[in-house]
Structures are given as structure tokens and as C-alpha cells.
Amino acid sequence: MRMKCSQILMECLLEQGVDTVFGYPGGTILNIYDEMELHGYKNKIRHILTAHEQGASHAADGYARSTGKVGVCFATSGPGATNLTTGIATAYYDSSPVVFITCNVVESLIGKDSFQEVDITGISMPITKCNYLVKDPDQLADVVREAFAIARSGRPGPVLIDIAKNVTASEADYEPLPVSEHGRHGRLGAMLRRSSHDLKTPEPDYGDIEKLLSMIEEAKRPLILVGGGVIRSKGAVPEFRRFFERLGAPVASTIMGGGACPGNHPLFTGMIGMHGSHASNIASSQCDLLIAIGCRFSDRVATDPATFASQAKIVHIDIDRAEIDKNVQTDHHIIGDARRVLELLNEKLPAHDYPEWKEFVFSHKEVPFVQDGILHPHEILETISDVTDGQAIIATDVGQHQMWSAQYYHFSRPGQLVTSGGFGTMGFGLGAAMGAKVGNPDQTVVLCTGDGCFRMNCHELATVEHYHIPVIIVIFDNGTLGMVRQWQHLIYGERYSQTDLDRGPDFVKLAEAYGLRGARAKTQAEFEAALRTAVNSGEAWVIDCAIDKDAMVHPMVPGGAPATEFLLD
């Protein structure tokens, strides 16, 4: 049937099961927004109008991470599109499946420095799995279908579709095509085959599986390191838990692996790396076999690649061959989806136990630092856990509060921690929390943020209020850029250049200005009372928690140093 391409786009979104879009309109994308009104698509797909395109990008990302679905974001050309780039990069570094749809000027004006024209496909090329500039109306449906396939397949990630405005006003033939039929559709099938490097997950080599099983048999001090790849792989977490419990070895985690191993599990050593636990970092230096699953060995994990796990044979399991030996040289690797690799290992792995090794590792577990008379970060996280029975989805921004959240909230399932681990995006949290709540309306969503981060996108409180999105915002308010101050204190001779936040706003009054509820807390009792009220109200709240300006994240390993050279114990 013939229909306008703006309508074809909406039909293709429905084919993909899209129920929510986050976005912000503008001149070049108006045909698509008009289509939502003309044919009732607004009743089939919920549109969340954010205060800024960056907020929309983070919301679509938070939706994707917490639901496992593909997030969708709309924006117009020029500054609308470029305002997405931070969100696109955030999704790219953490392998989050989001389809970003922008519209550009009409084809005849492309390349002429037209009003609000920008080459967003060129800009976004390094931070997307794939991107498209659609100039041919007949290709739009297949491009949209391929984009979703690429975003969700293999190692997930963001895809951008830029559509010339004249295409959205043109007509083309459209026939409904269920997702299950996409691979057999003529032109689309050919497109998907050309994209096979993005879509096909390699079957693990059985010889590689056998070799790892032999290495396990020889090991006396194995350590498992779990990363975000286990979280992103559908169905991998149950297989992972079966694997590490059968192996009986200690389990460390990157921040993106949070929730793969329950935080209160007796085999869990905590986070590894720059702000990793003593148990995790010391175990990495003393193990004789390190099995890393779905992690990138970034500089925040392998702080000194040359000495990382120097006594161990390192085995890297990853879906992306490009990650193998990129940062840390390995002794063995297995290419494949985490779930499938773990399935094959579990079929043949006998039960093991390493009592002396575990006794050594867990003798290094920390006790939280406590200072009487003030509200300490670990008390905030432990209170959130108690009040929500440890079931809340925790979104974070980036900095000290992010590290404290990873250390003190015991995540128990995939998608429970929504954080920017790879790109480290300040301002990510509020949009991501909104997206997580929209995607999980029956779950409590708490944003843990710092006063510096929250300022960056606090205008999204307007979105929270208008759409009645009941996220609870907990501000770790120390009046400074806390993580930067910590570095200045420890490394830069206490020269606190441009990190004091000795200015407004009053966060409680800001919440009230947006029509939301706010509270202050200076003690654990005050915070618990405010949090219980917020949770029971079913409304959005802002809770401003006063913490010590010099509270620090313990431990800390300086960048470039071996994992056991703790600058701060």
C-alpha cells in the first residue's frame, strides 16, 4: 500500500514493539510529529517530551538498560541532533541498544550550510554501531528494520537514522512485515546479510571451551571477573550464577557487571580496579587463573595493564573479537555470546572448592569508614536498601556517589544498576532514571546523584512533574565536585581549583518550583524518615542529603599504578 514515509516510520516502530519514544520536535522532524496526531499513533506509542534533547537521549538509554528493549529517541536537525551526541556516546561505551532518529534539511539543501543543517551521520560515526542518511523513500522501511536488528544483536549498541525532510513528506510502498520475517524479505534480507558482521554471534569454538576446562583443573587460585557483557547478554545471568557457584571461586565485578553476582553472595568480593575493594584487587594480584567474562579491561579496571593479574593465566570471554588483547594480553580467549559460552562450560564443569584461597581473599574485606555525628554515604545507601528491600532500580550520575552506590548497594539482578560506566557522563542520571521508571512503572527507581551532576540536567524535573514520573532523587550534597576534590586532595597538594560549589540553587526550593516535593537530611534518621515518606507517597521527591565535604571513596588506586598500590586505604 502507498503511504507517506512519516507514517511508514511509525508503522515500522510498531512492528518493532516500540511503546515509548523520548524526544523533542523541531522544523525538520515536524512531518513525523504531525503524523502522530493525524493517524492516532500518539495513542499507540507514548511520547515523552523532555526539557532538552540530551535528557531524551539519556532517558531512552535508561529505558533500554533497565528493560532489555531497544530505546528510541527523536530529535530535529542541527543543534537538536548534536545535543544527542553525549547520549549516543554514553550508550555506545556501555553497549546499550538505542535507535536515535533525527531528520535533516531537505536533500537539495544538504551540504550547503543550510539553516540548522549538520552532518550528524559524520559526527556520530565513531560512536554508533551503524548510521544512515535516508534520501530514498523506498529504502526507509528496510533501513528502520535493519537499524533495530543491528542495535539489539551481537554486542548491542546505538544506531542513528537521519532522514531528509523531503523523504518524510514523500510516499512509498509499505507492507507490514513481522520481525520474524525480516531475514527472508528480499531487499531487507540482503541488507541484513551485508550487515552480518554486526548481527551474527559466533558459535564458541568447542576446542576453546575444552582448553578453559583444562586450565580450571590445573588452577589452585582462580578468580572470576564479570563485566557488563554478562548483563547485556539475554539469559546469561542464570548461567553465570550456575558457573561461579559450581566453580566455587571468588567473583569480582566491574561497575557495569553490577547485579550479575548478587552483592551479598558469599563468593562476591566486590568491585575491582581504581576504587575496587581490597579483596578484589588483592585477589587479582595473587590469583593463578583469571576468567574475565564480558569486560573491556579499561584503565579503571586494569589500572596498570603491565602488572594486572601478573601471576595469573588470563582468559578473556567476549562477544567482540576487537576487545581481545586490546588492553590486557591474554593467555587464552573464547569468542562468543556470554550465555552460550557459559552454557557449554556448565555442561562439563565439575564442582570445585578452594577453601584456603577463599579464606585468604575474604580476609581482606573492608569495614565501612564511619565518622560520628554526620551523615555518611554508606548510611544513605544502606538505608535505601533497607527501605526498598534491596529491590530498587538505582540510577546514578558519575563521581563519588556512583562509586559509593556500587560499593554499598547490593545489586541482585540485571538492569538494577543504571550508570554511565564507560563514558562517565555527568548529567546522565535524571534522564536515565526517568527512562527506567517509564519502562518499569511497578518498580521503585532511585536516582543517586551529586550536587554537581544534578545541576547539569535538573531542568528535567519539569518532565518528571508533567508526566508524573515518581522517581526519588537523592542528592549527595557536599558542596563540591567531590571526586575531583578527592584527586586534588590526594594528588594535587590540596589545591582546590574551581571545585567548590558555593552557590545555589536551594534544591528543595528548586523541587518546589517545579511542583515537586523536597526534603533535607543531615542525619541517618532524618534521611530514613524522608525516604520512607517519599516511597510511600508514590510521588517524585528530591531529598537533599548534607554529607561531609571531605568524604572520600575508599579505597583508591591512582591511575597507572598496580592494583594493590592503594593511595587511600
Question: Which residues have a catalytic role annotated?
Answer: 53, 115-116, 165, 483
Q: Is the N-terminal amide bond of 555 cis, ω within 30° of 0?
A: yes
Beta strands in 272-381 (DSSP E): 289-293, 313-318, 332-335
- CA geometry: angle 384, 387, 380, nearest 5 deg: 25
**Other CB atoms within 10 A of residue 43 CB:** 8
CA distance 532 to 537: 8
Partner residues linked to 172 by β-bridges = 3
CA distance 180 to 149: 11
Cα-Cα-Cα-Cα torsion 447, 449, 455, 461, nearest 10 degrees, comes to: 10
Partner residues linked to 448 by β-bridges = 396, 474
Q: What is the CA radius of gyration of the chain?
A: 24
Q: Is the N-terminal amide bond of 368 cis, ω within 30° of 0?
A: no
CA distance 19 to 70: 10
In the sheet with 159-164, reading across from the earlier edge strand, the strands are 46-49, 20-23, 71-75, 98-104, 159-164, 130-134
Cα–Cα distances in angstroms (integers) from residue 85 to residues 55, 162, 398, 557, in the given order: 11, 13, 18, 31
**Other CB atoms within 10 A of residue 212 CB:** 23
Partner residues linked to 541 by β-bridges = 472, 517
3-state secondary structure 417-455: EECCCCCCCCCHHHHHHHHHHHHCCCCCEEEEEEHHHHH
